[in-house]
Amino acid sequence: MKLLFSAKAVKHFEQLRNDPSKKRVAPKTYYGWVKRYPIAKEANEFAKTIIGNRREVGALKRKFDVGMVTASMPMYSDEWKENVEWKSSLKHKEHHNEGNITVVLPSIDELAQKKVFNRSSKEPIN
């Protein structure tokens, strides 16, 4: 049977399970495991998905602040991250396209010469 974790990691897991006072894992250690072990990476992605789904449902049901959930969802979901980046790129394009827009309207005399029709009877309105 092939071991997925080193003996040192297994010993550390056992200590965490047996001693309630040592339940915390340092972030550096945790992310080291995520980089080193494919099963830890998979578990991390699954946990992020579950947390993200719970937060999204909570926001939809107004249990959580919608603005806060919306701002932090890219940490939990790649789809949210892509959506935020896409919206940001649209704002960036819009910002570069800013400028004066000229709208030319016909004069009142030109409008007076055209016949205006009533939509229901299709007869000219004087």
Tokens of 44: 């991390």
The SS3 assignment for 49 reads helix
Find where tokens 């004066």 sit. Answer: 100
- List the one residue out of 2, 1, 27, 22 whose CA is nearest residue 12: 22
What are the tens digits of pLDDT across the range 69-104? Answer: 888 888 888 888 999 899 888 877 766 666 677 778
Contact status, residue 117 vs residue 123, Cβ threshold 8 Å: yes
Give the model's pLDDT for residue 32: 92
What are the tens digits of pLDDT across the range 20-40? Answer: 666 677 889 889 999 999 998
DSSP letter assigned to residue 114: S
Q: Using CA atoms, how far apart are residues 52 and 80, in angstroms rounded to an integer?
A: 10
Counting beta carbons within 10 angstroms of the beta carbon of residue 52, is it exposed (0 to 12), middle (13 to 18) or buried (19 or more)? buried
Indicate whether 8 pLDDT > 70: yes
Residue 63 confidence class, pLDDT cut points 50, 70, 90: very high
Q: Using CA atoms, how far apart are residues 121 and 21, in angstroms rounded to an integer?
A: 84
